[in-house]
Structure 1
Amino acid sequence: MKRNMTRRNFVKLAGMAVALAALPGCVTLAADTAVKKPDGKQKVAGTGGEHYVPYQERQGAESVVYFTRDLSAAGLLQIS
């Protein structure tokens, strides 16, 4: 029995493929971006995300988030 791939299954499969492809790069990226703190310990990028930082203490610009239900090329061009 041949089963057609639905859009939902395709997106799930593509997301898993991207996540798996990114795994080896994450290890080298974290190692390459290690920075020594004044106390001599190394600070590694991509760690410490499990700690809550109150809004008043956050640094950097706010993120811009786009949303569309139209995943066609034309729909993606409209949000940019």
Structure 2
Amino acid sequence: MSLTSKSQGNQAESLFSRARTQSMSLNRIVSEQDAASQAREAKTARLRELRLEKEADDRAAAAALAGSPKKVGPKRAGKR
């Protein structure tokens, strides 16, 4: 093997190694972004569910107050 082919081989290995490293880094970055996106979507869904549940409770409480007649009159004094 001549000196030129050895240096070309080393250069090719170096380029391949660099390309593989860049590819691995890109895959890691994409994976981290996907994980962050999934976590954000899960949190958003959980918060939306909690908000809807609270709104339903608020509507039920408002309906209960509107439906029940209020007593108007003197307050009873406690036991004497």
Above 0.5 in TM-score?
Answer: no
Could you say which structure has the larger radius of gyration? Answer: 2
Higher share in strand: 1
TM-score by length of 1: 0.31
Higher relative contact order structure (alpha carbons within 8 Å, sequence separation ≥ 6) = 1
TM-score by length of 2: 0.31
